[in-house]
Amino acid sequence: MSMSSADTHCPYCALQCAMTVLHDASSDDAVTTVTGRDFPTNRGGLCAKGWTSAELLASPHRLRMPLMRQSNGTLAETTWDEALDAVAAAFRDTKATHGPDANAIFGGGGLTNEKAYQLGKFARVALGTSRIDYNGRFCMSSAAAASNRAFGMDRGLPFPVTDLDDARTILLLGSNVAATMPPFLAHLAGARAAGGLIVVDPRRSATARLTEDGAGTHLQPAPGTDLPLLLGLTHIVIAEGLADRAYIEERTAGFDALRRSVAQWWPERTSSTTGIPVAQLRETARRLAAGGAYILTGRGVEQHVDGTATATAAINLALVLGLVGREGSGYGTLTGQGNGQGGREHGQKADQLPGYRSIRDPEARRHVAGVWGVDPDELPDAGIPATALLGELGGPVKTLLVAGSNVVVSAPDVDALRERLQALDALVVCDFFLSETAELADIVLPVLQWAEEEGTMTSLEGRVVRRRRALAAPDGARSELWIMSEIARRLGAASTWSTDPAEVFDELARASEGGVADYSGLSHALLDTGIEAYWPYRSESTPRPFTERFAHADGRAKLVPVDATPPAPTDRGAELTLVTGRYLQQYQSGTQTRRVAELNGARPEARLEIHPATASRLGIREGALVAVSNERGTVKARASVTTDIRHDTVFLPFHYAGDECANRLTEAIVDPTSAMPEFKRTRVMVAPDAGIPAPTTAAPIERPDAAAPHVVERPPVLVAANSEEAIHG
């Protein structure tokens, strides 16, 4: 049959927009196209990344055979047997010489549930190592820690995203959804129509501009002052009698301590700290208390050393207002990566077993070990989080497997990290392109892309969705499930290692049974019936888990007092605060989107946003090359002079590599609770330099013999009102 199609979901963000992939193999030039499919989250619309996603499947830069480092330092193609034998030997020799924790795994939030689950099992059973974590530590860890502490459960949105449609007020902190997940904007329309979209951002982002013309309010605080802002709003709610006392008494614990803790954040102090006028603070608090309100947080408030405290303060505000678990109101966090929710539930986090269980819980260890057929005493202890794990490379950790992550672009202080990666005895990378991290590897294993595999993903709503295969993989590429099975066999590992995603999911379901993230009632077959499947799913779906009680033993949510302590300046001479973020046309580390002509053509380089007054003082002109530097390194970029940013702040996107890599500047310091790095509050100096060469990025492997990508006609662009960013409908 020359034509095949599959209903699946977009390979990018956690909104998991539904799409249909059509593959026509009737000629030598096979054509793959995508179209939006009606689904609650996207209602048939896709953003530019979704519409162009099929181009990657036929990319000339696709890896098709394993690569091994040669004696002359180059990477050359080899056979699968030779590559896997070498990987197994590296793991075996490292363990024999240095112990099991000298082997490490670094996973990704874009892996399917099946692969994330199997990766955690592979680390603990096949390698016997505690050293596993993943790039979701850089994304959702602060929100997860705060939600677990307050609610006893971490589910990004504890309600369907369509609940937002009827909101009168939405307070959105630290998220530029117009760039990160454009179809989400449709769910803000009701709040905008009511004049109730409140966006908190130091930049006048595309999302902030949606508040113009009476649609809402843009609060533009000083960078890193979201925590004082939330404490001040909670103070106003309590002081003005806006708190829902009946809800607090019935459904929460700890109010008296919380009330005392926010007493010091009176409006005038909050205003002087954040830069937001007192009148706007009071208006915001009163609007939230008027009914039909939601509070949503994103990475901008969480990627700080006080990110857990900030997310906790947002939860406290929502609880004091009585928003959580009630119809027509709520609190949630916007997961970023495609499987950021599912990826953190099933075992690739340092301290967790499948089902969101603690690896230090004896009962959890017994249950999961029983599913795996191993002795629970043989499972390793909890490991260490991502930044600490990466800090051990070349020291205690000698061999590292990276699956689904490009740490040379996405991790903090990447120049130092690059040196540690190069000090490893062996670096193994699974990817479908030669990412910047893969370029440093000793062995590169080519894997499948999204439309070439079966599996499941879990959206930002906690909805489990089916990823379906639409076309065959190119010769030479293999699934990570197959790779792990083959390495486990070579190592003589205990347990079973299926390569069938449906079988792996069934095992995942059994392993998660009884856990917070219980998938035990689900299977591929059941999901294929089209049911709505929100976890926990034992015998039925749970779209709104907090309607009657929270997940703590007493059924109450915990109000946890937090305080704002400004971080000490770390970079001498630096006078500006750098915040990092995203472009609409690029995604994460850019491994995929920088290889799509249309997307990269729209955003081919990093631009430093800087205020006109600051640019004038520093002698910087629009489009000029500038050096952004601190004690860790220097980034080169062109200046975009704009009033969309505060005079004390500059902005860089984090999608680019080489001289444009923003994370050359960020510091590897972390939140003490979540281990989230500080990505959004970095002190820098900016200077013009006409002698700076144009920024360079690493060139991908050229494969001119590969099938050329096809350009597909798409529906016209629908531009969001008052927004420069676009969504295809």
Those residues whose C-beta lies under 8 Å from the C-beta of residue 489, and which sit 6 or more positions away, are 497
Q: What are phi and psi of 312, to 5 degrees?
A: -65, -40
Considering only residues 617 and 714, tell me which one the structure prediction assigns the higher pLDDT.
617
Torsion of CA 434, 439, 445, 446, to 10 degrees: 10
Q: Of the residues 289, 312, 334, which one is the last residue of a structural domain?
A: 334
pLDDT at 336 (0 to 100): 80
Residue 304 lies in a domain: yes
List the strands of the sheet with 399-403, edge to edge: 75-77, 67-69, 443-446, 426-431, 399-403, 103-107, 132-134
Q: Which of 312, 334, 356 is the last residue of a domain?
A: 334
Is beta strand 464-467 parallel, antiparallel or unpaired with respect to 455-458? antiparallel
Number of domains the chain contains = 3
Rounded mean pLDDT, 636-654:
95
CA pair distance 344, 718, nearest whole angstrom: 34
pLDDT band at 724; cut points 50, 70, 90? very low
Tell me, what's the pLDDT at 166?
A: 96
| Strand residue runs (E) in 225-271 | 252-253
Residue 157 shares a structural domain with residue 123: no
Residue range(s) defining the domain that contains residue 644 = 576-688
Are 583 and 459 members of one domain? no
Is the model's pLDDT at 696 over the cut of 60?
A: no
- The tokens for 659 are 């001289």
pLDDT band at residue 718, thresholds of 50, 70 and 90?
very low
User: Which carries the bigger pLDDT value, residue 633 or residue 696?
Assistant: 633
Of 469, 479, 474, 475, which Cα lies nearest the Cα of 447? 479
- Answer yes or no: is 319 within a domain: yes
Contact 557, 251 (CB under 8 A): yes
pLDDT score of 588:
85
pLDDT at residue 369 greater than cutoff 50:
yes
Domain identity same for 309 and 161: yes
**Is the pLDDT score of 568 beyond 90?**
no
Same domain, 180 and 327: yes
pLDDT score of 596 = 87
375 and 350 both lie in a single domain? yes
* Predicted pLDDT of residue 707: 29
Length of the chain equals 729
| Nearest Cα residue to 191 out of 213, 208, 223, 166 | 166
Tokens 């926990």 belong to which residue?
A: 536
Q: Which residue has the tokens 């089902």?
A: 355
pLDDT confidence tier of residue 688, bands split at 50, 70 and 90: very high
Question: Bigger pLDDT: 404 or 692?
Answer: 404
Between 318-327, 642-651, 704-713, the lowest mean confidence (pLDDT) is in 704-713
Q: What is the pLDDT of residue 722?
A: 32
Residue 513 has what pLDDT? 97
The sign of the CA dihedral 675, 679, 682, 684 is: positive
Are 134 and 112 found together in one domain? yes
Predicted pLDDT of residue 337? 87
**592 compared with 707, residue with greater pLDDT:** 592
Output the domain CATH number for residue 649. Answer: 2.40.40.20
Q: How confident is the model at residue 128 (pLDDT cuts 50, 70, 90)?
A: very high
pLDDT for position 25: 76
pLDDT at 602: 87
Predicted pLDDT of residue 714: 38
User: Which of 21-30, 164-173, 495-504, 581-590 has the weakest average pLDDT?
Assistant: 21-30
Sheet containing 197-200: order of strands: 216-219, 197-200, 169-173, 293-297, 330-333
Tokens matching residue 524: 């591929």
pLDDT tens sequence across 444-475: 999 999 999 999 999 999 999 999 999 999 99
Sequence letter at residue 596: V
Pair (404, 259) in one structural domain: no
**Is residue 298 located within the same domain as residue 259?**
yes
**pLDDT of res. 715:** 38
CA 653/CA 117 separation, integer angstroms: 31
Q: Are 469 and 453 in contact (CB under 8 A)?
A: yes
Kindly tell me if the per-residue pLDDT of 52 is higher than 80.
yes
Q: What is the pLDDT of residue 593?
A: 86
Residue 173 lies in a domain: yes
User: According to the model, what pLDDT value does residue 699 have?
Assistant: 38
| Amino acid type, 399 | T
Provide the 10 A C-beta neighbour count for residue 587: 26
Strands 443-446 and 426-431: what pairing?
Answer: parallel
Same domain? 126 vs 151: no
Beta-strand runs (E) in 162-299: 169-173, 197-200, 216-219, 252-253, 293-297
CATH code of 234's domain: 3.40.228.10
- Average the pLDDT over 29-47 and give the result: 91
376 and 326 inside one domain: no
State pLDDT tens for residues 271-318. 999 999 999 999 999 999 999 999 999 988 898 899 999 999 999 999
Residue 567 has a pLDDT of 61
Q: Does residue 700 have a pLDDT over 50?
A: no
Closest CA to 233 of 155, 315, 153: 315
* 727 found inside a domain: no
List of E strands, 102-144:
103-107, 132-134
Enter the tokens of residue 537: 């799913």
Q: What is the mean pLDDT of residues 161-181?
A: 96
CB 639 within 8 A of CB 576: no
Q: Is the pLDDT of residue 92 over 60?
A: yes
Whether residue 164 is found in the same domain as residue 266: yes
Question: Are 503 and 479 within 8 A, CB to CB?
Answer: no
- With beta carbons less than 8 A apart as the criterion, state whether 168 and 197 touch: no
Cβ-based neighbours of 74, under 8 Å, separated by 6 or more: none
Q: Could you count the other beta carbons within 10 Å of the beta carbon of residue 10? A: 28
Q: Return the pLDDT at 26.
A: 73
Comparing 118-127, 395-404, 710-719, the range with the smallest average pLDDT is 710-719
pLDDT at 573: 65
Q: Which residue has the tokens 């001040």?
A: 232
Sign of CA dihedral 299, 610, 207, 410: negative
Answer whether residue 343 is part of any domain: yes
Provide DSSP, 196-231: -EEEE-SB--TTGGGGTTTTEEEE-PPTT-HHHHHH
7 within some domain: no
* Of 697 and 193, more confident: 193
Q: Is 513 within a domain?
A: no
Residues 251 and 308 in one domain: yes
Is residue 650 helix, strand or coil?
strand
Give the CATH number for residue 369.
3.40.50.740
Under the banding of pLDDT at 50, 70 and 90, the label for residue 697 is: very low
359 occurs within a structural domain: yes
